Structure 1
Amino acid sequence: MFFFIFLLSSCKIFSQQEATVEKSIFNIQLGTVGVWLNNELKISNSLALRAEAGLEPSWFVGNGSVWHPNFRLEPRYYYNLSKRSEKGFNTKNNSGNFLGIAVNYRPGTDVFSSNNKGIESYSIVPKWGIRRSFAKNFNYEAGIGFGFRHETDYGNYGEIDLHLRIGYNF
């Protein structure tokens, strides 16, 4: 009897796989303002490197807006994948909570403008966020962070990164 119980519990342990980030995920995402193409590449079981190119606006009070490219590298630590898996929640396509450090480069070029020129800038923003997958290949993300921004012609500022996006995984 003891051997039978041991055998059943061993089968259960070996059949469970550790929750891990996906090997590689390509996405297109639309945000409250902007569009982005990105790839998350697995570094370890809970760490992914996100590379992203997007088009987003900058607003100038009383003077219109500029739509400019944004290039981002962001290591992400998905800290609750195992817990989600144990509770039976979806972890597909990196569905979990994450901590990240977004490193952005915005060249001084503009794609669309209303009387303004783009401003070259660099930023580093630590952030927290969630990512969830639904309906097979769709996802949504929400995140918030506060960091440092350097504008080449104007100096240094604080930067708030607040995003809400919906996307499709290829």
Structure 2
Amino acid sequence: MKKVYIIALLTISSLALSQEKNVSVEKSVFNIQTGFVGFWANNELKLAKSIVLRSEIGIEPIWLVGDGTVWHPNFRLEPRYYYNLEKRVEKGYPINNNSGNFFGIALNYRPDAVVFSNNKDLKTIESISFVPKWGIRRNFGNHFNYEAGFGFGFRHEFKYKNYGEFDIHLRIGYTF
């Protein structure tokens, strides 16, 4: 009888250890998202057990009081560290499609290009920004997700000055 208990204990502990090893971000996740302002397509590529590299292209507006609106492209690279995946699995919450809390460092490039404007004389300002941020990503259904995050960082406009930049986002999307 002792042998049966020992075998059962070893089996249960080996299953528990094997489940811990399987807690990881997805190999590759492709999304389209929209928020209050803008549209984005992105991919999260697994680099390590809890780290992804998010590459993203989007169209975002700039509102100029009295002059109109300019829609411009934004290119982003953002390494993300999903820090609570094991805790979510322990509590029985899903982690599919990288559902979890994350820390990221967003590197944005906004070229001097206009996609659409209601004033043909308006131009955009070429800039780069570096923004550490915190956020959450959750899924509902098999393919839908929402994401919220915020951060504060540094923005450099090539023709002008350097600024502080807030990055606050709330998006809903679809995962392929």
TM over 0.5: yes
Q: 1:7 to 1:121 in 2, by over 3 A?
A: same
Q: Counterpart in 2 of 1:12?
A: 12
2:80 to 73, 76, 79: 76
User: Following TM superposition, where does structure 1 have runs of at least 4 consecutive aligned residues deviating by more than 3 angstroms?
Assistant: none
The equivalences for 1:97-108 within 5 A come to: 97-108=101-112
**Over aligned residues, Cα RMSD in angstroms?**
1.2
SS at match of 1:117: coil
2:116 to 107, 112, 119: 112
Q: Counterpart in 1 of 2:65?
A: 61
State the number of aligned residues.
170
When the two structures are superposed, what TM-score results if normalisation uses the length of structure 2? 0.92
**Structure 1: 5+ residue runs without aligned partners?**
none
Q: Check if 1:158 corresponds to 2:164.
A: yes
**Residues 83-116 of structure 1 deviation map (CA, whole Å, 9 limit, x = unaligned):** 1001111111111000000000000101111322
2:97 to 88, 93, 109: 93
Partners of 2:124 and 2:67 in 1: how far apart? 13
Deviates further, 59-68 or 144-153:
59-68
**Structure 2: 5+ residue runs without aligned partners?**
none
Partners of 1:29 and 1:53 in 2: how far apart? 11
* Cα drift, residue 154 of structure 1: 1.8
Partners of 1:6 and 1:148 in 2: how far apart? 58
When the two structures are superposed, what TM-score results if normalisation uses the length of structure 1? 0.95
Q: 1:23 to 1:83 in 2, by over 3 A?
A: same
**Residues 3-29 of structure 1 deviation map (CA, whole Å, 9 limit, x = unaligned):** 333322332333342310000000111
Amino acid at match of 1:14: S
Q: 1:59 to 1:9 in 2, by over 3 A?
A: farther
Larger Rg: 2
Q: Counterpart in 2 of 1:3?
A: 3
The share of aligned pairs that are identical, in percent, is 64
Q: Check if 1:132 corresponds to 2:148.
A: no
Deviates further, 147-156 or 71-80:
147-156
SS at match of 2:87: helix
Amino acid at match of 1:41: L
Partners of 1:48 and 1:150 in 2: how far apart? 25
SS at match of 2:11: helix
